[in-house]
Amino acid sequence: DVLRQATEVIMAAITRQLEDVRGEKAPTELYDHRKARAEQRRRAQGKGST
């Protein structure tokens, strides 16, 4: 639990720094690799069934 909290604090700091470097706001929803892969799989299954 402590490691997860520390990771969240570090990632938030990195996000703020990237906002400054890029000059734009970060997306409100963080990127979730597992969610993105699941969406890719759903799309691939949909294309193969038609």
**46: pLDDT strictly greater than 60:** yes
- Our count of domains for the chain comes to 1
* Block residue for tokens 């799989």: 41
- What's the rounded Cα separation, in Å, for the pair 8 and 3? 9
CA 38 to chain centre: 13
**41: pLDDT strictly greater than 90:** yes
Q: Count the alpha carbons within 13 Å of 6 in the hemisphere toward its beta carbon.
A: 3
| Sign (positive or negative) of CA dihedral 29, 32, 38, 43 | positive
- What's the rounded Cα separation, in Å, for the pair 17 and 14? 5
**49: pLDDT strictly greater than 80:** no
**43: pLDDT strictly greater than 60:** yes
Question: Where is average pLDDT lowest: 5-9, 10-14, 27-31, 32-36?
Answer: 27-31
**36: pLDDT strictly greater than 80:** yes
* Predicted model pTM: 0.63
Distance between terminal CA atoms of the chain? Answer: 45
**Domain range for residue 28?**
2-48
